[in-house]
């Protein structure tokens, strides 16, 4: 089974409503899918993290830098090909876009392995560790009209809860005092048993994060995500983790086992959030997962993107061992974006249908189907939204 071609599909559409996080507002949604075809006609699908123009640049890396390194090679040789690409690109980027591009190719090779063996991805990466997966619904994105935001967030939190989610996540980024008011408003609108997480997208200095975090400690916040810059300020993470009662989470912007090693060794995180479509694909995710568990750091995957990324993460969560174990062990959760996303909800002929399952079950989703990750994009859908 030799690799015949590697192609990128960059999709985009205009959102009905602009959304924001602490770094920017955005009005378009983008997805970057990678198709790896073999000489016997099988196609595996992967996805690269990176929105907007980043996706366009990553397409060039996938098709013009990585493809010539892997075409003609055996599609089974995932580890050898991963290291071939990594070693050849080391001098040009051990983090960031080259790793995002490699991630999409690696995920497609795992999907091919599933298709050729007829097995769901979770069986290829260790088998089932659970029969269903808890889901948390994130929303409460920033808007330009900041005056009415607290009331708007409170209403949205109640809607997410009413949709069946037992855990939810909000954005902050208006500044420390205003952020505390936002968190207070959302917490007050949720039931006591509903978990609330807060995502800062690294907008604070460490002293400001401590100020906001101390308020969160009183508001029963489950985690405080990316309070400070992800890899540049590991000492800040460690200080926050030592000082605050609220769990400190992060890692979505970290890459490879070598990037993750100091984050874990320096005890920066209570909860690790690796992004499989960025850090190096499934091959590298499994190494980072093992390393996180070696440090007794629980993992809750960062999930963003189309149905390919969501399905891949569902398989990885299905196969994630409990850490630590017990009668009532720590359960990972599937991150689910409650804002409109056609690339997740309408790209597959057989949709993942997460929203209905969450509503019917009170916050859970069944294990995904295979073979591979099971997400096969509808070619007509790709034609409709492809921009490159
Ligand atoms: Ca985040």
pLDDT at residue 231, rounded to an integer: 79
pLDDT at residue 230, rounded to an integer: 81
Burial of 59 (0-12, 13-18, 19+ CB in 10 A): buried
pLDDT at residue 159, rounded to an integer: 98
CA of 141 to the centre of ligand 1 (A): 11
Spelled out in words, what is the top-level CATH class assigned to the domain 122-366? alpha beta
| pTM, full prediction | 0.98
CA of 229 to the centre of ligand 1 (A): 12
Residues paired with residue 44 on neighbouring β-strands, in sequence order: 36
CA of 335 to the centre of ligand 1 (A): 10
Neighbours of ion ligand 1 (CB under 5 A): 199
- Catalytic residue flag (residue 315): no
CA of 76 to the centre of ligand 1 (A): 33
Which of 302, 315, 322, 373 is an active site residue?
Answer: 302
Q: Where in the chain is the domain with CATH 3.30.390.10?
A: 3-119
CA of 201 to the centre of ligand 1 (A): 6
- Of how many residues is the chain composed? 388
CA of 139 to the centre of ligand 1 (A): 11
Mind listing the pLDDT tens digit for each residue in 147-203?
999 999 999 999 999 999 999 999 999 999 999 999 999 999 999 999 999 999 999
CA of 388 to the centre of ligand 1 (A): 27
CA of 199 to the centre of ligand 1 (A): 6
Q: Where in the chain is the domain with CATH 3.20.20.120?
A: 122-366
Superfamily name and number for 3-119: Enolase-like, N-terminal domain (3.30.390.10)
pLDDT at residue 179, rounded to an integer: 98
Sequence-ordered list of residues with C-beta below 8 angstroms from that of 382, at least 6 positions apart, any chain: 9, 11, 33, 347
CA of 200 to the centre of ligand 1 (A): 7
Residues of the chain with pLDDT under 50: none
């Amino acid at each position: 089974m030799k690799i015949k071609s590697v192609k990128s599909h960059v999709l985009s559409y205009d959102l009905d409503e602009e959304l924001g996080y602490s770094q920017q507002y955005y009005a378009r949604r983008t997805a970057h899918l990678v198709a790896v075809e073999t000489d016997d006609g099988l196609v595996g699908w992967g996805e690269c993290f990176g929105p907007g123009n980043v996706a366009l640049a990553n397409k060039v890396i996938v098709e013009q830098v990585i493809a010539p390194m892997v075409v003609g090679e055996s599609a089974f040789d995932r580890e050898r090909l991963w290291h071939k690409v990594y070693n050849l690109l080391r001098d040009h980027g051990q983090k960031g876009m080259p790793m995002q591009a490699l991630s999409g190719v690696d995920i497609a090779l795992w999907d091919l392995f599933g298709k050729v063996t007829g097995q769901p991805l979770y069986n290829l990466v260790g088998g089932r560790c659970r029969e269903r997966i808890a889901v948390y619904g994130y929303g409460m994105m920033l808007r330009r009209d900041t005056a009415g935001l607290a009331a708007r967030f409170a209403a949205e939190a109640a809607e997410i809860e009413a949709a069946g989610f037992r855990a939810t996540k909000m954005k902050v980024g208006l500044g420390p005092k205003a952020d505390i008011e936002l968190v207070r408003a959302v917490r007050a609108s949720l039931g006591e048993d509903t978990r609330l997480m807060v995502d800062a997208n690294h907008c604070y200095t460490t002293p400001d994060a401590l100020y906001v975090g101390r308020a969160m400690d009183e508001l029963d916040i489950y985690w405080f995500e990316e309070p400070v810059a992800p890899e540049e300020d590991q000492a800040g993470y460690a200080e926050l983790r030592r000082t605050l009662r609220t769990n400190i989470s992060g890692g979505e912007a970290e890459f490879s086992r070598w990037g993750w090693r100091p984050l874990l060794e320096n005890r920066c995180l209570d909860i690790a959030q690796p992004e499989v479509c960025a850090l190096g694909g499934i091959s590298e995710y499994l190494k980072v997962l093992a390393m996180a568990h070696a440090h007794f750091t629980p993992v809750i995957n960062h999930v963003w993107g189309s149905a390919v990324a969501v399905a891949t993460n569902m398989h990885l969560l299905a196969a994630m061992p409990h850490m630590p174990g017990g009668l009532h062990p720590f359960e990972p959760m599937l991150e689910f974006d409650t804002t409109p996303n056609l690339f997740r909800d309408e790209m597959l002929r057989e949709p993942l249908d997460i929203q209905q399952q969450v509503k019917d079950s009170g916050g859970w989703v069944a294990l995904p189907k295979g073979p591979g990750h099971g997400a096969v994009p509808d070619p007509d859908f790709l034609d409709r939204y492809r921009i490159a």
